[in-house]
């Protein structure tokens, strides 16, 4: 039974800890540099430990790192490797910290690294959407309300709308990143340490914007950071899911607005004419799953008082893989959007003639007819089957068919991305690894 208890309590922790391995090494490098500065390590000990940790980091990046059988977690594995290589010196690295603040800092380093990768993928999709928006800005398509044909839209508007949606998603992601980029190291088990830890130093060494100052709050932040980041990821996923739904619908025979790349569709086992939008259907499902992530995290951590509890271990299983899942969806979506074929003759079909009724009402208003009267006139003509559409549209205000404002949206995206200040983190990590 003891083996079963161990299996139950450890669960997938060793598997999940592999996600955090390189971050655990970075956190240890900063921690021991700080220990040397306050006299708990000798200079030659620090030099030897840093050299060994850099080698472990290189092994991790090369895919050569494993958590051995019988070793509980990544923290124990790294310390074991240091002790094997350096003897008792390796046993000194845990002074002034707990596995609680160790995993906290690992999670924050991991999260900010993953957010940067997600940002890169969002930018790639954003650029693709903007390029397609400009390419097809003069191709009209029906706009819908209540799934009823409503008013003229354009592919410029459709692609551009999703590009701008990603800007708002990026704002949420930036806010989540700023919370993740605060240093919990030094909070130990949640109540600090009697050692004179220099938390400002580890904050600077790891490139954090600031520290989580109150040590109790640093521990309370476990789960809160994951939840808020999950909300940001869910926002991105919501945009991609909606785009995938649109594309699936618009590619169906009853719409025939777009044609998806052949390699992103599959056929039927019995119907030779079928081209099913499988990649976008899976994208939609995966993104809808990601939109449930904040609720999963909330239910795991709900009603826990302050302090550490083993419940929080389960957060890793739902949180750590989420970044790769979202990145897959972003990359697949960018691939399809860059190769999508647009029907440039949608409006040749008479079923869309009535969507130009608003244009006719507005034309009469410009001529001096009161809006209510113009609306009634056109309505009567439609009822009598006498309405003849003028399919030329003249929308010029900001954000309309004739004035997409794509450069302004691009500038807004650039400002948001620059606000992450990824360069500061990259510089700090480079110094730790190579100075």
CB 71 within 8 A of CB 20: no
Query: What's the rounded Cα separation, in Å, for the pair 343 and 154?
Result: 11
The two structure tokens encoding residue 164: 């701008």
Query: What's the rounded Cα separation, in Å, for the pair 219 and 195?
Result: 19
What is the Cβ-side half-sphere exposure of residue 85, based on CA atoms within 13 angstroms?
Answer: 17
Q: Is 261 left (phi over 0), alpha (psi -120 to 50) or beta?
A: beta
The two structure tokens encoding residue 181: 């980029």
Query: What's the rounded Cα separation, in Å, for the pair 210 and 320?
Result: 23
Q: Radius of gyration (Cα) for the chain, nearest Å?
A: 28
Find, among 73, 417, 52, 37, the residue nearest to 205 by Cα: 37
Cα dihedral: 429, 430, 432, 435 (round 10): -170
CB 51 within 8 A of CB 95: no
Catalytic residues: 146, 268
Query: What's the rounded Cα separation, in Å, for the pair 333 and 413?
Result: 19
Q: Which DSSP symbol is given to 307? A: S
The two structure tokens encoding residue 428: 């700090």
Q: Is 388 left (phi over 0), alpha (psi -120 to 50) or beta?
A: beta
3-class secondary structure, 213? coil
CB 395 within 8 A of CB 401: yes
Residue entry with tokens 């449930």: 292
3-class secondary structure, 182? strand
3-class secondary structure, 157? helix
3-class secondary structure, 140? strand
Query: What's the rounded Cα separation, in Å, for the pair 61 and 55?
Result: 10
């Amino acid at each position: 039974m003891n083996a079963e208890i161990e299996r139950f309590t450890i669960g997938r922790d060793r598997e999940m800890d592999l996600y955090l391995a390189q971050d655990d090494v970075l956190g240890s490098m900063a921690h021991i540099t700080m220990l040397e500065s306050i006299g708990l390590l000798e200079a030659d000990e620090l030099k030897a430990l840093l050299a060994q940790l850099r080698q472990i980091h290189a092994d991790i990046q090369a895919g050569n790192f494993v958590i051995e059988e019988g070793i509980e977690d990544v923290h124990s594995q790294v310390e074991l490797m240091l002790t094997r290589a350096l003897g008792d010196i390796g046993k000194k690295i845990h002074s002034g910290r707990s596995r609680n603040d160790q995993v906290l800092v690992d999670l924050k380093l991991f999260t900010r690294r993953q957010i940067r990768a997600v940002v890169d993928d969002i930018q790639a999709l954003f650029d693709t959407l903007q390029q397609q928006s400009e390419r097809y800005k003069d191709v009209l398509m029906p706009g819908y309300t209540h799934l009823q044909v409503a008013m003229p839209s354009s592919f410029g508007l459709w692609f551009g709308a999703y590009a701008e949606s990603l800007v708002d998603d990026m704002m949420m992601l930036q806010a989540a990143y700023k919370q993740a980029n605060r240093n919990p190291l030094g909070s130990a088990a949640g109540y600090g340490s009697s050692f004179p830890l220099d938390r400002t130093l580890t904050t600077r060494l790891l490139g954090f914007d600031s520290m989580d100052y109150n040590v109790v709050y640093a521990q309370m932040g476990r789960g809160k950071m994951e939840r808020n980041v999950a909300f940001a990821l869910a926002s991105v996923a919501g945009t991609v899911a909606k785009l995938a739904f649109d594309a699936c619908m618009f590619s169906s025979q009853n719409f025939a607005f777009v044609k998806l790349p052949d390699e992103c569709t599959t056929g039927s086992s019995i119907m030779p004419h079928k081209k099913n939008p499988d990649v976008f259907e899976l994208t939609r499902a995966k993104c809808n799953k990601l939109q449930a992530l904040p609720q999963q995290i909330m239910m795991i951590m709900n009603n826990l008082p302050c302090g550490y509890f083993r419940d929080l271990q389960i957060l890793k299983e739902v949180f750590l893989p989420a970044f790769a899942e979202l990145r897959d969806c972003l990359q697949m979506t960018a691939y399809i959007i860059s190769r999508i074929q647009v029907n440039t003759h949608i409006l040749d079909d008479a079923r869309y003639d009535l969507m130009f009724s608003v244009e006719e009402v507005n034309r009469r208003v410009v001529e001096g007819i009161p809006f209510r009267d113009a609306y009634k006139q056109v309505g009567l003509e439609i009822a009598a089957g006498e309405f003849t559409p003028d399919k030329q549209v003249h929308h010029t205000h900001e954000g309309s068919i004739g004035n997409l404002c794509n450069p302004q949206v691009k500038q807004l995206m650039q400002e948001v991305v620059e606000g992450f200040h990824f360069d500061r983190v990259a510089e700090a990590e480079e110094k730790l690894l190579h100075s």
